[in-house]
Chain A
Amino acid sequence: MERIPILQMGRFLLVTIQVDMHDRLAMALQDDLTNRINQVSARGVLIDISALEIVDSFIGRVLANIAKMAQVLDAETVVVGMQPAVAITLVELGLSLTGIRTALNIEKGMLLLQSALQDDLKADERSPVLPEEHAGVYGEM
């Protein structure tokens, strides 16, 4: 079964959706991404949906949920590159993704993530937290 790749860049995870989303794929992405955030204790997630032309209510909801889940797992989430048609559809569906950051493109999204996590990352450098601890804490959730 095809899967959407999740790339790691330092403490950030990068998800680019380049294919038409269907229901199974969306659910698989939800599983993969949450697991992956947990594994690598990612601090930021960047979801690029610039190639996504069509969303239905289900995909819209899953996208919103994925973003919220990442937030719950303490990873700043930025959704980037949403197409106008997709934005209009989501608004009409009542999914306004409140509390989730958005940006026009990957570059701006990355800057946003970096500035949001600047303080955190600096702190991390000074006193690195062992990944095992994160895994343990999140595993119970």
Chain B
Amino acid sequence: MGSKIPAILDQYGSELLSEWLQEILATNNRRGLIKEAELREECREFIHLFREAVHQNSLSDIHSAPWNEVRGLLSNISRIRSQKGFTPSETASFVFSFKQPLFSRLRRELAQDGEALVEDVWTATTLLDKLGLFTTEVYQKTREEVILRQQEELLELSTPVVKLWEGVLALPIIGTLDSARTQVVMESLLQKIVETGSDIAIIDITGVPTVDTLTAQHLLKTITAARLMGAECIISGIRPQIAQTIVYLGVDLAGVTTKSSLADAFKLALQRTGMKIIRTQA
């Protein structure tokens, strides 16, 4: 027994479209986010592609070849909506709201044949559910891409090595130090040491909220690596809370020069490089 869905789509394409649009507009309370003309175009395109896919006789697997274009359209719609600020459920209900007009059509057409009606409604509902979930998946993937990109940007942003003076570098660290970040910090610091030929690097941890054993170990590694290259490191900006933590954790900072503020560290750095700052006016 063949499904009645393809025939209905062929026959009532334009009616389905207008009913569906009404349905969407009735439930949609975010009218400002998308224009009606745009929405109409999306719906029209969806019905068109949906019909073509249905005609190719695969009503179950939306990941098969006939559904390629439908999936393409939906990922596009979903991506645009996630950027425009729709919620995932609003995005998914674009597809789900198509059930209402389609089912009422089916009911009218198959009023006599109860068995066929149930059969077709079931096919249609599983199909649209899958497509709806697909939009959610794409939505989430788009969001994840955004998060990933932001993470990478943050990583680049948060590790500037600045030159304070001839032969004196400063590395203000802001945020928690994890392994991945330390790697970047370490590499950029060492690279900068080579580039500028600096003898002293000040690592300022005023912006580091907490220090655990791992963070401390990362710091010590960076300092050792810098020392191997012939540069000396000074740690500055250790807050009282962090000093307590460091001692309680048993982290050995012996052999590392520490100063309470960046200013003190800078003063020491100048001293070591044989310079000093003097007041020109009394």
Question: B-contacting residues of A (Cβ < 8 Å)?
Answer: 79-84, 86-88, 90-92, 96-97, 102-105, 108-109
Return chain A residues, CB-CB under 8 Å to B198.
104
Q: How far is the CA of A82 from the CA of B194 in the complex (A)?
A: 9
Binary A-proximity of B264-282 (CB < 8 A = 1, otherwise 0): 0000000000000000000
A/B interface sample: 5 pairs, CB < 8 A:
A82-B228, A86-B228, A90-B225, A102-B227, A108-B199
Most chain B beta-carbon contacts within 10 A, residue among A86, A88, A92, A102: A88
State whether A91 touches B228 (Cβ < 8 A).
yes
CA of A91 to CA of B190 in the docked complex: distance in angstroms? 13
Contact between B197 and A87 (Cβ–Cβ < 8 Å)? no
Q: Known contacts A104-B193, A104-B199; is A91 also within 8 Å of B230 by CB?
A: no
B199 touches A88 (CB 8 A): no
User: Smallest distance from the beta carbon of B125 to chain A beta carbons, Å?
Assistant: 57
What 1/0 flags go to B174-207 for Cβ under 8 Å of A? 0000000000001100110110011100000000
CB distance from B161 to the nearest CB of A (A): 12
User: Using Cβ atoms and an 8 Å threshold, which residues of chain A touch B231?
Assistant: 104
On chain B, the residues within 8 Å of A91 by CB distance are 221, 224-225, 228
Closest chain A CB from B272 CB (angstroms): 13
Q: Is B226 an interface residue (CB 8 A)?
A: yes
Shortest CB distance B149–A (Å): 27
Number of interface residues of B (CB under 8 A): 18
Against A, the Cβ 8 Å flags (1 = close, 0 = not) of B205-234 are: 000000000000000010011111111000
Q: Interface residues, chain B, CB within 8 Å of chain A?
A: 186-187, 190-191, 193-194, 197-199, 221, 224-231
Q: Given known contacts A104-B193, A105-B197, is B230 in contact with A84 (CB within 8 Å)?
A: no
Q: Cβ of B230 and Cβ of A88 under 8 Å apart?
A: no
Docked pose: A103 CA to B224 CA in angstroms: 13
With A90-B228, A97-B228, A104-B230 as known contacts, state yes or no: A84 contacts B194, CB within 8 Å.
yes
Contact: A96 with B229, CB < 8 Å? no
Q: What does DSSP make chain B's interface, helix, strand, loop or mixed? A: helix
Q: Chain A residue with minimal CB distance to B222?
A: A91
Q: Is the CB of B199 within 8 A of A84?
A: no
Given contacts A80-B230, A92-B221, A102-B230, 6 further A-B contacts (CB under 8 A): A79-B228, A81-B230, A84-B229, A91-B221, A102-B228, A103-B230
On whether the beta carbons of A87 and B190 are closer than 8 Å, the reply is yes
Contact B228 A96 (CB under 8 A): yes
The complex places the Cα of A109 from the Cα of B229 at a distance, in Å, of: 11
| Distance (whole angstroms) from the CB of B57 to the closest CB of chain A | 59
| Residues in B whose Cβ lies below 8 Å from that of A81 | 229-230
Distance from B195 Cβ to chain A, minimum over Cβ atoms (Å): 10
Enumerate chain A residues within 8 angstroms of B194, measured Cβ to Cβ: 83-84, 104
Known: A104-B231, A109-B230. A84 touches B197 (CB 8 A): no
Query: A82 to B229, Cβ gap below 8 A?
Result: yes
| Interchain CB contact (< 8 A) of A84 among B190, B221, B227 | B190
Chain B residues with CB below 8 A from A96, complex form: 224, 227-228
User: Given the interface contacts A103-B230, A108-B199, A109-B230, does A84 sit within 8 Å of B224 by beta carbon?
Assistant: no
A103 to B221, CA, bound (A): 18
Complex alpha-carbon distance, A53 and B151, angstroms: 30
Min distance, Cβ A51 to any Cβ of chain B, angstroms: 13
Known A84-B187, A84-B194; contact A104-B224, beta-carbon cutoff 8 A: no
Give chain A residues whose Cβ lies under 8 Å from the Cβ of B199: 104, 108
Which residues from B are CB-within-8-Å of A105? 197, 230
Tell me whether B229 and A104 are in contact (CB under 8 A): yes
Cα-based distance from A134 to B221 in the complex (angstroms): 39
